[in-house]
Chain A
Amino acid sequence: MSELSVRKTAYSVEEIFHDGGPRPAQSLRRASAMAVVKNPFAGRYVEDIQWFMEDLKPLGLQMAEKLISLLGGADQIEGYGKGAMIGEEGELEHGALWHAPGGYAMRQMLDPSNAIVPSTKKVVGVGGYLDVPITHINASYVRSHFDSMEVGLSDAPRKNEMSLILVMSTGARIHNRAGGLSAADIEGKDGLR
Chain B
Amino acid sequence: MTARIRKIAVNIEETHQEMGKSISPATRKAVAVAVIENPFAGTYVEDLSDLMEIGAELGALLGRKCIEALGISPSEAESYGKSAMVGENGELEHAAAILHPKLGAPLRKEVEKGAALVPSSKKMGGLGQVLDVPLGHKDAAYVRSHFDGIEVRLNDAPRANEIMVAVAVTDSGRPLPRVGGLSAEDAVGQDGLR
**Any B CB within 8 A of the CB of A75:** no
* In contact, B12 and A10 (Cβ under 8 angstroms): yes
**Any A CB within 8 A of the CB of B14:** yes
* In contact, B7 and A6 (Cβ under 8 angstroms): no
* In contact, A16 and B13 (Cβ under 8 angstroms): no
Interface size on B (CB < 8 Å)? 20
* CA of A8 to CA of B14, assembled, Å: 5
Which of A10, A12, A17, A154 is within 8 Å of B6, CB to CB? A17
Q: A15-B8, A17-B5, A19-B6 are in contact. Are A10 and B13 (CB under 8 A)?
A: yes
Q: Tally the A-B contacts, defined by beta carbons under 8 Å.
A: 52
CB distance from A71 to the nearest CB of B (A): 12
**Any B CB within 8 A of the CB of A7:** yes
Interface size on A (CB < 8 Å)? 21
* In contact, A7 and B16 (Cβ under 8 angstroms): yes
Which of A10, A17, A129, A153 is within 8 Å of B7, CB to CB? A17
| Per-position 1/0 for B109-139, Cβ under 8 A of A | 0000000000000000000001000000000
* CA of A52 to CA of B107, assembled, Å: 44
**Looking at A5, A8, A10, A18, which has the most chain B CB atoms within 10 Å of its CB?**
A8
* CA of A16 to CA of B18, assembled, Å: 34
CB distance from A122 to the nearest CB of B (A): 16
**Any B CB within 8 A of the CB of A13:** yes
Residues of A at under 8 Å CB distance from B?
5-20, 129, 150, 152-154
Q: Apart from A16-B6, A17-B7, what 19 extra A-B contacts exist at CB < 8 Å?
A: A6-B16, A7-B16, A8-B15, A9-B13, A10-B14, A11-B11, A12-B9, A12-B10, A12-B12, A13-B10, A14-B8, A14-B9, A14-B10, A16-B7, A17-B6, A18-B6, A19-B6, A20-B6, A152-B153
